[in-house]
Structure 1
Amino acid sequence: MLDQVNIPCLQYFAQPNEINSWDEDIIIFNILNPTPAIQANSYYFGHPEWGWNYFQACHRDEKFIELWQAVIGSWQDKVVVDIGCGPGNVYASLKEFCGEPQLLLGVDVSLGALKMARQLGYTTVLADAQNLPFVSGFADIVIINASLHHCDDMAKVLQEAAKLLRPGGVLITDHDPQKSAYQFKGLGSLLWELRLPLYKWMKRGGHSTTDEQYWGLATEVHHKACDGVTSEMFYEILEPMGFTVKVYPHNHTVGAEALKGNYGRPFWKYSLAQILSGINPDSPEAALTLMCVATRIN
């Protein structure tokens, strides 16, 4: 099978003979355990309308670009792996600011999303982030943006991603919900649940129809009340693997200032739910998102 297609990045795969097929030069690996979450992510982000809406609306704003540009600096001539790349939001937002990678690998479970990412310049791979098919120690930068909370086993994805980095390489994760910010209870929990019919009534992006809302929520395995990522998870997993780890709590209205400890304040709807749940919305524990920047030292 491999002699029928030109795969310029073949040397980066641990078991190239496990390549199942390809579609428009998208390299496809078998997913051994297609869980409901994987199936939902495949369907939702591959949907021609919903995937396009996500691409246009999410992770494209000025503050996002400012923060990520400050962390990356330049990826010119570097090997970059974007895990859970979706339709390609990170590269689409940063390509004018960070240069051109030597190789930009995009990994996702959604064939439809990968077709969009491929048009932007990604070399695309369909594979399970919990069982990545790559060799260890080849990447300069590994990105996991807004993807951990879509995966069944967040810790496993983080471990798999960390293995890909060479010494001096940087792992960047962001836009996963901070667990302590979502400890809703009582009236706060009720307000959180009431947002869903309101969003559908407003036809807000991601919620414009019953089907879109259902499948969108089905992808977000860990974006629920009392769930999400913690600082401890990043330190406990990455430090034993030879990384220095920095974690930055921040809200979505804060750009590069997040790297200086300015985490901002949640949007009013989150602040109100937090106040009703006994959470101080001005605390770092109330920041909606954790960014982790981890550098491999050995």
Structure 2
Amino acid sequence: MINQFGVSSPYLPDSSIEQWDGEIPICKISNLTLAIQANAYYFGHPTWAKNYFSACHRDAAFADRWQAVIGNWQNKIVVDVGCGPGNLYATLGDRCGKPRRLIGVDVSLGALKMAKTLGYTPVLADAQQLPFESGFADIVMVNATLHHCDNMAKALQESARLVRPGGLLITDHDPQQSAWQYRQLGLWLWKARLPFYRWLKRGGHSTPDEQFWGLASEVHHKPGDGVTPEFYQEILEPLGFSLHIYPHNNTAGKEVLQGNYGRSIWKCRLAQQLSGINPDSPMAALSLMCVARRTA
């Protein structure tokens, strides 16, 4: 059976689709939380989304790191959960080959329309309630997505569910909890950045409105919150994944895979030092990348 999505029903059953916006299927979202509304609004905003697309996850180190992990996705089925306006594929392009199908999932219709122009097959759905059947994807990518979800564990479990035996699950750019344990002066510095960013009209903070919705979308990106190696191990290992976890700062490329986590920017180092955190330790690396393969 072929549905309007253009693929066999095991990918996306007709019953999971509530309506269509042009060629974009819109699936049911059971619990429309503030976080989901914020992500839908912020990443679908005509100006903010374009600024995000231009500035985030577009650097050479990012592309180098992801290319080293993916290797080759030629003729593979790839799912990008929380794809936003399409930053990941826009940055990698065809340097890893050409996927047979590149499915982009997000809660923001505006972002999905941008991603579609890049070659994504877009689906509007909640990462915590993915509408797809299990075990069809060769590669599932979850970049800078988990910390935008109310329930990070559920979003990770749902993404893992899509991976076929022998397939690959990659997550990246979620804050490592131990790196963000700001205290005392470090915590004060973190809080003081917001009015300063508004004054500078820094990207993501150019107006009070943009800052509010941007911060509302970042549910777990705050001091004392984030992901840990144990978070990935406890969820993925019982599901039959073998995994490697790489702490890194965003300046590091493929050398992350050899244990070189790079150096964080000065303001984060300062906040860590003021909080009693050694900024040159692996626990101070700002992000965790998890590369997990499902055993055949």
| TM-score interval (norm. to shorter) | over 0.9
Alignment partner of 1:282: what SS? Answer: coil
- Give the 5 Å matches for 1:55-94: 55-94=53-92
Counterpart for residue 105 of structure 1:
103
**1:12 CA drift (Å):** 3.3
Counterpart for residue 294 of structure 1:
292
Counterpart for residue 152 of structure 2:
154
- Give the AA of the match of 1:63: A
Counterpart for residue 7 of structure 1:
5
| Percentage identity across paired residues of the two chains | 65
Instruction: Count residues with an aligned counterpart.
Output: 296
- Deviation beyond 6 Å, 4+ runs, structure 1: none
Alignment partner of 2:209: what SS? Answer: helix
Asked if the contact 2:11/2:136 (under 8 Å) is kept, the reply is no
Distance 1:99 1:21 in 2: 33
Distance 1:96 1:136 in 2: 26
Task: Show structure 2 runs of 5+ residues with no match.
Answer: none
**1:10 CA drift (Å):** 4.3
Superposed CA offset, 1:188-229 (max 9, x none):
000011111111111111111111111000000000011001
Superposed CA offset, 1:94-142 (max 9, x none):
1131111101110000000000001111111001110111111110000
Distance 1:166 1:19 in 2: 23
**Alignment counterpart, residue 200 of structure 1, candidates 190, 198, 201:** 198
Distance 1:78 1:13 in 2: 14
Counterpart for residue 179 of structure 1:
177
**1:266 CA drift (Å):** 1.5
Is it true that 1:29 corresponds to 2:27 in the alignment? yes
- Give the AA of the match of 2:241: F
Distance 1:244 1:116 in 2: 34
Asked if the contact 1:88/1:120 (under 8 Å) is kept, the reply is yes
- Give the AA of the match of 2:80: D
Give TM-score, length-normalised by structure 1.
0.97
Distance 2:24 2:133 in 1: 18
- Give the AA of the match of 2:115: A
Greater helix proportion:
1
Alignment partner of 1:96: what SS? Answer: coil
Distance 1:186 1:265 in 2: 23
Alignment partner of 1:166: what SS? Answer: strand
Alignment partner of 1:90: what SS? Answer: helix
**1:16 CA drift (Å):** 1.9
- Give the 5 Å matches for 1:276-291: 276-291=274-289
Give TM-score, length-normalised by structure 2.
0.98
Superposed CA offset, 1:226-285 (max 9, x none):
100111000110001000010000001100000000011211101111011110000000
**1:14 CA drift (Å):** 5.5
Distance 2:263 2:178 in 1: 14
Task: Show structure 1 runs of 5+ residues with no match.
Answer: none
